[in-house]
Structure 1
């Protein structure tokens, strides 16, 4: 069973949502304030967060940013943001701050369950599917697929689970051009029903984290590819 932490000040949402998600093997714990969420995160393990955009104390976007810059255990926990405002700007901001997915209110509970299943599957597949080759080496960059760790000359590179999966997807086939729709399909495990701008946001975030390396190349009207030359691979 996967444990979820819902941070939403709508107290009426928690009970029916917990009842519905239980059929998908989710246990939902609900709090109404970011401070209460931090208190639970400090002592309990959660597999993913469902984070409302409008909250007391601070909004969900600021809280998402705080989590991504906080303890190591919080940096990679999948975050699905909910908000009553479904415009493109909100979606862009949420993804830029490190959210893994985004769903506008009002939402269908079945879609929420499907999106949660997708980001959780994405977070756990890489360790489970580790191949005999666990270290991908490139000029200035190493990717340890067994430990899901990325490092460069300046030290470890902190990536969210979605950023890591995108980097690994591109790095496994250096030079191959992936379109935005293809990237969305591969990462989400479903049709690209959100918006291709999400890929641009992810790549922009990753480029900032990988600076000064120029690992990701943009091909106008085509997509993205991994551009670092290989230094060979270590087999375990």
Structure 2
């Protein structure tokens, strides 16, 4: 049973989402403010956090910032419908995905499942000591671990998934539609900038580990490509 942490001060919405998630066989815990939410999120008990942006005292973006300072736990943001600013800032801070409010419990549950499917070990027969290696990049999907030139590459769940898709297709352009389906677990929506923001973050993280050029290139009208060195 996957354990979900809901952080939201909207009691009525939280009760509805909690009831539906529990019917879908999730174990759910609720925090009604960001400060207690951070403490719970960093306790190591949860598989994923569902976090609302609009909260009093400690808002969702600052809550996410504090979680990301110490953990790569998957985080799904709840954002106001049409509020692109909070959405993009959330992604830049390390959110794995977002769902605009108002949302249905069914939609939220589907998005939670899509993220969790890509964070569990789904190939136990494969040796964790056999990495997916492309140039300076090495990835161990079963362990959700990656290195660049032997140094740890700290990635969020969605960043790891997207980089793995690109690495498995190294030397070939990969469309944003394919990246969204395989990396985020959903079709690409119109005007969706999730992938662009996630890949920008990956590039920055790789750059801090000493790469003097981007190994992820934008291919005009085709998508993105991981460059074989």
TM value normalised by structure 1:
0.86
Give the conservation status (yes or no) of the 8 Å contact 1:181–1:196. Answer: no
- 1:182 deviation in Å? 1.7
Give the conservation status (yes or no) of the 8 Å contact 1:50–1:82. Answer: yes
Give the conservation status (yes or no) of the 8 Å contact 1:134–1:145. Answer: no
- 1:194 deviation in Å? 6.2
Unaligned runs of 5+ in 1: 230-236
Equivalence for 2:123: 129
- 1:43-81 C-alpha deviation (Å, 9 max, x unpaired): 4501111101011222111211221121xxx22x11111
Match of 2:116 among 120, 141, 146: 120
Question: In 2, distance between residues paired with 1:90 and 1:175?
Answer: 34
Unaligned runs of 5+ in 2: none
- 1:21 deviation in Å? 1.4
Equivalence for 2:176: 180
The residue matched to 1:128 in structure 2 has which SS? coil
Question: In 2, distance between residues paired with 1:17 and 1:142?
Answer: 38
The residue matched to 2:41 in structure 1 has which SS? helix
Equivalence for 1:83: 79
Tell me which moved more, 49-58 or 80-89. Answer: 80-89
Equivalence for 1:92: 88
Question: In 2, distance between residues paired with 1:49 and 1:156?
Answer: 24
Aligned residues: 223
- 1:140-180 C-alpha deviation (Å, 9 max, x unpaired): 22222332211123721100011011111111121111111
CA RMSD of aligned residues (A): 1.9
